[in-house]
Each structure stands twice: as structure tokens, then as C-alpha cells.
Structure 1
Amino acid sequence: MNLLKNFLFVTILTAIIACSSKPIVRDFPPTAGPAEEIANLEKDLNTAKDNQVDVLSPVNFKEAQDSLEDAKKKFLNGKDSQLTLHKVAIGRAYLINANNVSLIARENIEDVIDAREAALKADAPTYFSLDFKNADKDFAVVTKDLEKNKMNTVAKERSSLQGKYLDLEVRAIKEKNLKESRDIITQAKKENAEKYAPRTLTIAEKNYTDTEAYITANPHDKEEISDRVKETKDAAVHAYNINRTAKGTSKVSSEEIAILIDQERTRAINNENKLSTVKDELETTQSALEKEKFNKTSLALTAEELVAEKENLESQTKSLESDKEKLEAEKSFNEKYEIARKQFSSNEAEVYRQGDSLLIRLKGIAFPSAAATIQTQSYPLLTKVQKVVEEFGAGSAIIVEGHTDSVGGKTVNNRLSVERAKAVKEYLQANGGGIEEKIEAVGYGDEKPLASNKTADGRAQNRRVDIIIKPDTTKL
């Protein structure tokens, strides 16, 4: 089971990393709005940054950011909208790569990522800014190696890097909880506590050392740490006050000295009671552990645990197989898209990818004025369309869209666009095998212009037929 899981994971990893250096750029259709697509990319980049994608895939993320900035400049300078959209498409492609690499990073260095997040929560960058920056530099090297698929290097650095972040977390927890007590003890020493109050100072320092050691061993035991930190601070304050009193005994009344002695006695009794309670709890815990050890072996899984583990592995395997199928379908679609794009000259058609669909914008198809009869010179072009449809498989759904310019009335334009779409549909049905029931014809008249209808060139662009192919991804 584990071998299968590892094999599938390596397959997916290879497929994703293989495309990381040269992402697949999916250009937007001319009808897309540059401002809207720029805003969408910026929003998605911010979301990715919140998920640490900028740290997990720094090269791809930076490329995406740079492309976004280029797109913004082109848009503000009034450059051609297609150039602006192309820059957004490049940024989008790099962001997809960055997200893919971040998923792989979480699979391969999840323990390092968790350690870094724990250090962040402990405010390590606040207390140890330089050390945290240095650890992040090493982290960036590892994630860049991940982007380049250098898995051997990643494996070597993983443990060391995790250790750095774990150490930073513990140091930050100590600094946050013990700084005040340390400062009080330091001030007491400056005021000669080693001379006037050596015993209480030693107790305070011992308490500080014990709490520091406990945090090292149990950094996430917040409740116990809080109790110990309070005791440490009390001991530090006590040493500080005793030192000040001892230095000025000639000015202190016998009553004040008696009060201090009584406070010290009470404090000692409280500590003794706490020690007794802890001892009782320890004995109870030890007894429970011995009983548990007697009742079951720690070397074997129970039948229930084995079943649960088996089900968990089967679930993960299914998930990995699903991911593999999606990647294979994506690869197949991209290959067919390239084949389709090369079928047509620039004067015949433009080919775009729109999500999981393919758009063929026919520029070379000719109709007589105000008519919907396909001319013989358009047959070779439609034959090429037929080949593309066959390439994507008989299970593909096809929509033929008719569009006109704004010259003439809306009723006439709507009727003409529908008739022209139907003419192309009927041609494809008459010459295609197995797709007769999958073709739909719709007409939009002048509702979806690509350019302004005020110029001859604009009207020419708007008079068109679009073929949309929606393949059955299970058959790619």
C-alpha cells in the first residue's frame, strides 16, 4: 500500500515540477476586461501570500508579482488591452505554479513549515529578528531547490532547518515569559544582593533556572508554564525586596523585619504544600502508566487501529489517483490545444483556451451580404474545424455562436446570427461522425462586440462565428 502511495505521489510531483520553469500561459479572450483580471490576480496573490506561498515557492511567486506590476503599468499607460491581458495571463500561470509547488512543499517539508509557523506564533521575529531572518534565508534556499525538483538537497537540509525554527520558538517563549524576572534579578545584583541577600538571591536564580529548563522540555504546556513563571517572578521580587531591606536595616523597625520573616515563612509553607501536591500527582500518574503498560503492548497496533490505518491509506491512494487523472487530462488538453492552434493561419481563425473549453474564432468564413449560405471557399476552413472536433473526441459538446455588427435592426441581426450559426452547425453535422446530437447553435446578433462598431475594422471583427468545444475530460 505504501509503495503504491509513494509511486503515485512521485508521479504527481514529477508532473507538477516538470512544468514549473515554463508555465502554460492561457491567454484571455479579447472580450476580457483588463482592469477586472488585474484585480482578480492581485486578490489571488494576496490570498496566496496569507498561505505562505511566497515563502514556499519564492521564484514562481515573484514572477507572478512582477507580471502583475507590468500589467498594471501597461494598463495605466493605455497600452493595447491584449498586451496587458497577456501579462496578467503570465502572472496567473506563475501563480498556478507557485500554488502547485507550495502543495508539494507541504507534503515534503510539512514539519519545517509547522516549526516556522510555531516560531511566528511565539513572536520569534520580534525577539530574535536577525536569527529568524537567517533561518528564513536558509528556508528560501530549500524552497528554491523544491521548485527545481532537487529532492536530495531538500532531504539533507530539512532536519537542520526544522531544528532552527524549533529553537527560535523555545527561545521566544522563554524571552516572553522570563524577561521581567531576569531584569528584576539583574537589578537586585546591581544593588549588591549577593552581599546583602545571598540566600534569597540564590533561591530566585534557582527558580529561574528550573522554569527555563521546564520551558525547554515542555514549550507548549501553557498552563504549567504560566504557574511557574508567576512563582519565578514572585521569587525575583522577594529577593529584590529582601536585599533592599537588608541594606537599610538600621532604618527599618523590628516590626517590619518580623513581617518580612513571617512572609518568608508563609512562602516556604506554600512551596512545601505545592511540592507535596505535585509528588502525589506524580505517583498517581506513574501508577496509571504502569497499569496501561501492563494491559497492552506498545509495540503492536490493535485490530481497530490497523483497520483505521488501512482505510486511511486507501483514502489517500484514491485521492492521489484522482489527482493523477486530473493532471493527465490537463496534459492531454494542452497537447490538443497546441494541435488545434497550429491548424489555422492567422487569417483563418484565432484559437483560445477558456477554462476547460476551447474557443475557435473563425475569421476566414464568408457569407453573402444579409445571407446565411456557406460559400465553397469556406469549406476547407470548416474541414479544419471538423478535424479539431475529432481530435477532442466524439464526447465533446459543441456550441456554434453567430455574431453580427450593429448595422441594421436588432431583429434582422438576431435572425441572421442564428441562421449563420445553424448553417455552420448543419455543415459540421453533415460531415462529422458521432457528434450530431452534441452540437448547439445560438445567435447573439450585435450583443457581444469585440470592437467598436464605429469603424469598418471594428465592424469586420464583430461579424464572426465562434466555435466552442467543451471536451469530455474523462475521455481526454
Structure 2
Amino acid sequence: METFMKTSRITLFCILLALTAWSPLLSQQSLRDQTFGQTDKYMDEIKEKNGDVLAPEAFKKATEFYQKADEEFRKGRNLDQVRRRLKQVENYLTRCRETIKVAEVALSKTISARNDAISAGAAKFADESWRNAESKFMEATGKLEKGDGKSAKSRAGEAEALFRRAELDAIKTNFLTPAWTLLEKADRAKVEKNAEKTLNRARELAKLAEDLLRQNRYDNTEARKNAQKAKYEASHALYLNDQIARFKDADMTYEDVYLIAEKPVEKIGAAIGVATAFDKGLEEPTNLVVDKINETKSNLRKALQIIEKRNNEIASLQQKVSDLEGQLGNLTATEQSLRDVLEKKRQREALMREVSSMFTRDEGRVLRDRENIIIRLYGLTFGIGQSIIEPRFFSLLTKVQNSLKKFPASSIVIEGHTDAQGSEVQNRRLSEDRANAVKQYLIANMGIPQARIQSVGYGESRPIESNETKEGRAKNRRIDVVIIPSWAQDSAGMQ
């Protein structure tokens, strides 16, 4: 016991010693927070408004005085002196704020062009163009800050044009780099000798994509399609060049080439039960294969119609079973189990109908995916490139909340989807942001545990309609609320 008490006293002494050592450090940090807190907050506000760009000279002075104040504080100088420094910092930050207000009006078009260039990734995909534009813009803001509005306006006009060029260069690079890379490879390999037509087709498509982007850089769906086709044709030309060179090196005859071309058609025909003969060329056996495939597709459609008919008959029989169950008296254990299963099924179907009735046709549609329930929110839309939920959709999301309450203990997945306009990377990121916005809204308004709900963005990868039409694209831009009810989770656990 005496040993234990001695050990405890030593431990307590060590703890007190450690607290004593840390106490000055904690007090120093607390004092710094009190002294610098207001200025730090002001500095962050100006940084967020791009003060370093829109009011460069005043921001530079504010930064210099801040660094001096920080150095004097760390050296333990008089606090009044430090506070005077910070007052100078705030004076320059106030000057920044006033200059920013003027710049946002006087240079609004240039600022908009700069923001568009940033969104297009100009700093990454068009580095030189971006640096030239940024340099000219800094000249404009510097002139504006000095009160030379005329020079500022002139340089801002030049900067705007440079930012627009940087934006376009970035978009073209983002879209066309894969095709350009393959075309350069084709030129080095002298593909034109063996695959001139295919290579020229690739070049034409790449140029067409570039022209379309130049005409309208924002409606870029057609440009993107042509860029992808250009990439394919360039790759195709490289392949043809390799094959033709191989044929030449192997001293192959035209007969050899024809026999090689017949093999794939013969293989496909054998797989689907079509006898292929090539004594009249490739067209006839190819048509036979296509006809067989079309026949199979037709038979499949008929089979699906038969299945649907059988399902309707099964539903009718189930209704008869339900009617007969009401007449049954003493049930065996097996019969009771079957009745329980059917009763649960009826309850779930009734629940589906109830949830479906909550939404109008324009607001959304409730679907089944095996055991999961999907609320497809056609009525929840976002601004272009935005992920902010507008207040006018709160009533629709209230209906979603009421639906979720019908499925206690369920897991929830918020899926974001976009159409195929814009880049794949931007579409996926935008779909993730929108899905997360809905997730956070539901957490905030329902108190759903984080572990029970997740969000995921699929971008343009899971369309439900064709992206070739305006109506199809509208349906593809959607939020799906996937409910995984507790009974589905139980079934998965048993498996």
C-alpha cells in the first residue's frame, strides 16, 4: 500500500510539472488569438474576395505589416506596438475592400472572363495563355488602384480577350488532346503511306471539333462527339498501318488478306448457327448473320411479351389465393408461414402505392429495383453548373422526407446523374456535389445518422433516355433517392 501511494504521488507530480510547462504556451496562444483574431478574420474576408488580385498594392502592404506584427509578437514586443501594426493592416484591408467594390463594377466583364477561364482549367490546360492573361489583368487592377481608370479599362479589355483565348485553349486541349496525341504518333510512324484515307478522316474530324468549339465553346456536345470520333479514326489508322506493314513484310497476297477477313464472319456465323459461304464475297454471309441476329432479337421480344402475360396470370392467381385464404380455418404451420409471406408482400405493395401517391407526375416517379425503392426526382432541378438547392424545392424534399419516414431502419443512397453535355470529369463532380447537397439537406432536416445515408455521383454514365434529344437530356439530369429497406438488408444478410 505504501509503495502504491508513493507511485501515485510521483505520477501526480509529473502531471503537474507537465501542465506547468505547457501553461505559458497555452497562454501565449490565447493572447495571440485575442490580439490577432479580428485582423485574421478581416484578412480571410479580403482573400476570399480576391483582394490579392483586385487590389494588389494595398493587399501587399497589408501583408507586409501583418508579417511585421507577427514577428514583433513572437519576439515579445510591446502589445500596443503590435496593435498599432495590426491597425495599419486593417487600414490597408479597408482600402482593399473599397478598391474591390470599384473593380467589381469597372472590370466586371474581365472578372467574368477570368472566372470562366478558371472553370475551364486554363491554369492547367493552357498555362502560357493563362499567365499572359493574368499578367495583363494585374496591370489593369494596378492601374485602377492608382486611380488611372482610362489605362485600367484599356488593359482590362486586353486581359478579357486573353482570358477568353485561354478558356478556349483549355477547352480545346481538354477535348482534343487524346486525338492530337494519336495524330502526332501517326505522323511520326508515317501512317499516311498505308492508311491515308483513315488518317485524313481523323484530321478532318479533329478540325471540325476545333471549329465547333471556336463557334460555341459552351454548347460542346457535337464538338465532343467529333473529338471522340477523331481519336477513334486516328487509332484506327495506326492499327491499319501496322496490319498493312505486317502483310507487306510477310509477303502476303490478296488471297491471304481476303481469307483473314473471312475468319471473323465465319466465327460469328458458327456461334449463332449460320452456315457461311464466301464464294460470292463477304456481303451475302454478313447479311445472313445480321438477319439471324434480328430474328433472335424479334424472338426475344416475343418471349418477353409471353413472360409479361404469364406474370399477369400469376398476379391473377395470387389474387385468387388471397380470396381463398380468407375462407381457410385452421392453418398448418406451413400454410400460416405462406400466409405471413403473402401478407408482408401486400403490405409492401400498399406502401409502394402510398409513397407513389405523394408525388405528382412532374415531381417524380417511384420505382422498384428488386427489393429497393427508387424515388426518381424529375422535379428537383439545379442551375447550370450549380449544386445549391433552391427554396422552391423544399416542399418537394418534404415529400421525400415523409416517404423516408415510411421506411424506418432503411439505408439511403442519394444518386446524382447528369446528361452528356460538358466533360465527363466535370459532370461526375457536379453529380457528386448535387447528390451531397440533397444528402446534407436530409441530414439537417431529419436528423438521419451519417452511417445510414450516403451520396454518390454517376455523372453521365447511367442515362435512362437518349442524350440526343432535349427531352431525353432533361430526364437524364436527375436525383435518384434509393431506399434499401430493412427487409432487403435482412435478405442480403441471410445470403
TM-score category, normalised to shorter length: 0.3 to 0.5
User: Please, what TM-score do these two structures have when normalized by structure 1?
Assistant: 0.46
Larger radius of gyration: 1
Structure of higher RCO (CA pairs closer than 8 Å, 6+ residues apart)? 1
Normalised by the length of structure 2, the TM-score is 0.44
